[in-house]
Amino acid sequence: SIPTYFLSRTSHQVNMTDKVYKIGMIGGGVVGGGVLTILHSLSSTLPLTVPKMVVRDPSKPRSFAVPSTTSVSGSIDDVLDDASIDIVVEVMGGTGAALDVVKRALASGKHVVTANKALLAEHLEEVLAAGGRGTSLGYEAAVCGGIPIINALQTAYAGDKVTKVQGIMNGTTNYMLCKMEKGAEYADVLKEAQALGYAEADPTADVEGHDVRAKLAILSKLAFGTTTPITSIPTTGITSITPVDFSYAASMGSTIRLIGTAHRTNLHAENDGPVALSVCPCVVPLGHPASSVTGAGNLVVVSSDNLGSASYAGPGAGRFPTANSVVADVVRIVSGSQPDAFPSRGRQSADVGADTEGRFYVRVQARDSIGIIKSLGSSAEGAGVSIHSVLQGPISSRDEMDFVVVTEACGGREVRAMVDGLIQGGKVKGCPVVMPILDLE
């Protein structure tokens, strides 16, 4: 049943009109079921109804109650070709048929609410071009599930200048990293996440950072006006992280989280300055807001000139948290208060190749032998990297021993050059693990 806290909205929050908005839903999975349940509960107090729902297999039993006032079919044309439908809610997923649904709906003058991050990240300009005057595009649920980060960026920073958007944007990997922090191995945690339904049978989108990459592209467009091809965003997943990294991070008073970052490369520039984007695991000091996000939670920290840093945290997935974000867009459309999908933010350009500046964590695996530290020092000197400290735990196997280099502030290019020098020197085994170290805000 629907949690009672999702039923707290009352009709005084909406500018009531004589018009009753008819909603056509396309998709009836986990999120779709939550959306239908909430909308039906609101139909007695708000001017809306859901006369039609389209699903892949209408004969399949549902895990939610379908009201008698809602007809279920298997054809998207039943919604798209119905002139009486005012709002199309797309929760079918994918980027094939869903793109056609969204474009056709907008082109025919219908409002669209979608939870489809991949669709928007890959086809954003195409979707925006399909809309006409008087149509709205809502996508609150596409990024970070139940966290109202989209509406916050659309409305709360109208007189401000956002300088950075950064955070934890994938619940699956955060759940896995939190388990690994307690000593679990990656392969075991992945199986557990799949058994719980957090991770798909093919977990690539989550563990390789692709899901975060898509969300970051959307947030960057919203915060900076930057449209970025998602494949151009430097992205590193969590597959190389081990419990050993958490042990070293703990000795530094830190933990590890998968972080998406979009920031201005010149904080003193006007609104046309370049923006850099990246997705990678980071060493996070325990005083940082991201360090306390556990389980499948999400967090986005927005930094701006006037407000400083503001954190938005909450459930990043789940039937009712995500459905609540979809419904929030619907209610805003019904009330006439839905903001522009992407308010003007100037003329920023995406500088996806911009270098990352800061301190770095570099874990090196090698066979214990004379000359390793000398090789490290030579490689660091040749790359122009100053070493802050070298950390090493007890050696259990001289054939595979780990040590960690913590650098002083430098550029990512210099660190990569240092790592290349270590590899070429023949003293290391495999590829060293490199992670930026976040600063306390």
Active site residues: 215
Half-sphere exposure of residue 45: CA atoms within 13 angstroms, side-chain side:
13
Question: Residue 394: which region, alpha, beta or left (left: phi > 0; alpha: psi -120 to 50)?
Answer: beta
Looking up tokens 């122009």, which residue turns up? 384
Strand partners, 261: 166, 278
Of 54, 107, 258, the C-alpha closest to 173 is 258
Distances (CA, A) of 383 to 74, 340, 377, 412, 429: 60, 47, 10, 11, 20
Q: For residue 168, which phi and psi values (nearest 5 degrees)?
A: -95, 115
- Whether residue 88 contacts residue 101, with contact meaning beta carbons closer than 8 Å, is answered with yes
The helices-and-strands tally (H runs, E runs) of the chain is 13, 16
- Whether residue 127 contacts residue 119, with contact meaning beta carbons closer than 8 Å, is answered with yes
Residue 100 neighbours by CB under 8 Å, 6+ apart:
none
Calculate the CA 125 to chain-centre distance. Answer: 19
How many CB atoms within 10 Å of residue 103? 17
Of 252, 256, 273, the C-alpha closest to 264 is 273
Half-sphere exposure of residue 22: CA atoms within 13 angstroms, side-chain side:
13
Residue 397 class from Cβ within 10 Å (0-12 exposed, 13-18 middle, 19+ buried)?
A: exposed
Residue 253 class from Cβ within 10 Å (0-12 exposed, 13-18 middle, 19+ buried)?
A: exposed
